[in-house]
Structure 1
Amino acid sequence: MDTMALKLVLVLVFCAGISVILGDPVPVFKDCGSKVAKINSINITPCETEPCPLVKGHNVSVVLEFTTNKQITKASAVVHAILSGVRVPYPLQNPDGCKDSGLKCPIAGGGTYNYTSSLLVSKTYPSIKLVVEWELKDQDGDVIWCFQVPAQVGG
């Protein structure tokens, strides 16, 4: 094997190892009706496997990068747990998408922004598989972005 081929093999092995160690930001998410923005990336911590593990008594953090196509003057976050097709509202401590979320309203159309939030997984929740649906709505009630991710409450 020549030196160049050996270097290529070593680089590929190194990259594969880093990929296994770091994992993907979110293994699988589904866009569930984003209208005002395009989701560029989502990072949920912890969420290195599918379904995302939601550990009772611990926080789950979300960082979502999006590019909007219109001006947003007001934003409201809404979270649901979907259990056997039934959407159950999850009350956020801070549903105001323009406050303590990394966003400062008004948001200009055409820009790229990062939304950050966290939620506590209550110790009283049952251990169950579900789908988490998280959306941000604008001043007109239009869905800025929406994503769903499979999750497992436990531990």
Structure 2
Amino acid sequence: MVFLALCAFAFVSAESAADELSVVKVDQCTDGSTKNVKEVRLTHCESLPCNVKLADKPRFEVDFIAERDSDVMRLKVQGQIGQLKPENFPGFKSDACSQMGVECPLVAGKQYTSKSQLTMSPTFPPTQAKAIFKGVDAAGELFCFTVPVELKQ
């Protein structure tokens, strides 16, 4: 009985650890594209590359400073395998104002936190990839960063 309880505890602890947000060091898409990003937190990412199973629902939070006043903001998430063209994450709702807790309109110089979750698809191939996160408004890009990811069965 004690053995079963310990096994259950170990399983729950392992699941909980994967679901905890970890601060992640991100790479910039281009020179200066992360200057407005203060911190990025992801689940399933205690070390790089992030290890995501196709059954997982990874969560993320992005703290950023608004570069300019803006009525709208979208956070686009893309995946890129090797040198292939990046593809938009299927089914991801990119409206940060209505879907991710960002209070709009944005005020220049104010810090915001965008929070969301990704639903993985069992049709994704197990592979090494790069997740690309782009914050954009009507005037253009606010920030862009990448995170290496390993997709597993």
* TM-score relative to the length of structure 1: 0.77
2:29 to 10, 29, 32: 32
Give the equivalent residue in structure 2 for 1:137: 136
Q: Which amino acid aligns with 2:72?
A: K
CA drift of 1:39 comes to 0.4
CA drift of 1:43 comes to 0.2
* TM-score relative to the length of structure 2: 0.78
SS of the aligned residue for 1:99 comes to: helix
Equivalent pairs counted in the alignment come to 132
Q: 1:102 to 1:83 in 2, by over 3 A?
A: same
Aligned: 1:116 with 2:129? no
Percentage of pairs with the same residue: 20
Give the equivalent residue in structure 2 for 1:78: 76
Q: 1:75 to 1:49 in 2, by over 3 A?
A: same
Give the equivalent residue in structure 1 for 2:13: none
Q: 1:131 to 1:36 in 2, by over 3 A?
A: closer
Give the equivalent residue in structure 1 for 2:98: 99
Give the equivalent residue in structure 1 for 2:127: 128
SS of the aligned residue for 1:59 comes to: coil
User: Which aligned segments of 4 or more residues in structure 1 are displaced greater than 4 angstroms?
Assistant: 33-37
CA drift of 1:32 comes to 1.6
Q: Separation in 2 of the partners of 1:56 and 1:37?
A: 31
- What stretches of structure 1 of length at least 5 have no aligned partner? 1-21
Q: Separation in 2 of the partners of 1:76 and 1:23?
A: 22
SS of the aligned residue for 1:81 comes to: strand
Q: What are the superposed Cα offsets for residues 27-67 of structure 1, whole Å, 9 maximum, x if unpaired? A: x3112246696100000112111110111111111101011
CA drift of 1:91 comes to 2.5
Is the contact between residue 21 and residue 59 of structure 2 (CA under 8 Å) also seen in structure 1?
A: no
